[in-house]
Amino acid sequence: MPDLESRENPYNVTQASRIYFLPNLMTAGNLFCGFVSVIKCIQARLETMAPGTYAHTSAELYTQAVWFILVAVIFDSLDGRLARLGGRESLFGAEFDSLADVVSFGVAPALMMFFLILSPTQGYPVFRQIGWFVGFVYLLCAAVRLARFNVITNPFLHKPKDSSKDFVGLPVPAAAGTVASLVLLLLHLSGDNREMHKLSLALPVLLLLIALLMVSTVRYPSFKQVDWQTKTRFRTFVLIIIVAGFIFWLQEIALVTLFFVYISSGLFRFIRRAQLIGRLRLQRKQAVNKPPISVQ
């Protein structure tokens, strides 16, 4: 990794606005996938209203939209790594990445959940009335999460060494991946009315929880320390291969499980940390209130 002196100076306007090809090409790929996902969602909705409009069914179009979001997640993970690997991080790249993320992980999942999960023509009446609002809350939280991230990581306010290995709040790509995996599972269970009935009750609450986690202070691992030089144990390597195999084999269930494990890990760490802080405060309070030992 290049040292700090070889990094671009963020206080120089010319250097901060430079466009480095490979990192920003990945960001452009992220934006392209988000845009196509939005188009696929609209086409799927039109196909539902007028069957036969397109060569694919609405379920196939929604599935394509999901995979474009998941590919956008991959592009989003590559742009930052390529920038850090070559020591070519810039303010332009950070802002461009956030703007692309708003489309790929904000607008596209919001449209998807509104058209399919919170459909104004299906499901319970109360959800049909507030479905648009739930989608907007998700989009709002995603935009606020990205704006807060830009402020936290802005080099004008923080030095590079001050950056944490954890994200504050659920990362927007993880939130979008969770929504996308839920849509895949929903399409997979479309023939089971009993399971669809259960999901229709739980999904609006779950989507609001995901939205609130994005703007929360719950910390999530960023995996920024994982690079080409990262070493691992043989057992860990085998476990990763096994998990990848299960994802390929059980796509819908495995993806939902993977994203929910990630979400749960942050909540579990947050609860454990809160309990530890509570015990320390109680011990300090007891130590202060403990009467002094009298000497005879």
d(CA 203, CA 117): 7
> What pLDDT is recorded for position 164?
58
> What pLDDT is recorded for position 48?
82
d(CA 37, CA 62): 8
Phi, psi of 220 (to 5 degrees): -130, 140
Classify burial at 285, counting beta carbons within 10 Å of its beta carbon; exposed 0-12, middle 13-18, buried 19 or more.
Answer: exposed
Residue type, 16: A
Q: Higher-confidence residue: 274 or 211? A: 211
Helix H or strand E encompassing 221? strand 219-221
Q: What integer is the mean pLDDT of 25-44?
A: 94
In the predicted structure, residue 19 carries a pLDDT above the cut 80: no
pTM: 0.78
The CB density around residue 15, as the number of other CB atoms within 10 Å, is 14
Assigned architecture for domain 4-232: Up-down Bundle (1.20)
> What pLDDT is recorded for position 3?
44
**High-pLDDT (> 70) share of the chain, %:** 71
Residues of 164-200 as b/e, b for ≥16 C-beta within 10 angstroms?
Answer: eeebbbbbbbbbbbbbbbbbbbbbbeeeeeeeeeebb
Q: What mean pLDDT, rounded, does the chain reach?
A: 78
d(CA 52, CA 86): 49
Q: How many CA atoms lie less than 13 Å away from 129 in the CB half-sphere?
A: 3
> What pLDDT is recorded for position 87?
59
Helix H or strand E encompassing 168? strand 166-168
* pLDDT per residue as tens digits for the range 170-192: 999 999 999 988 888 888 776 55
DSSP at 54:
S
d(CA 133, CA 140): 10
Q: What integer is the mean pLDDT of 74-80?
A: 85
* pLDDT per residue as tens digits for the range 47-71: 888 888 888 888 889 999 999 999 9
d(CA 226, CA 207): 29
In the predicted structure, residue 227 carries a pLDDT above the cut 60: no
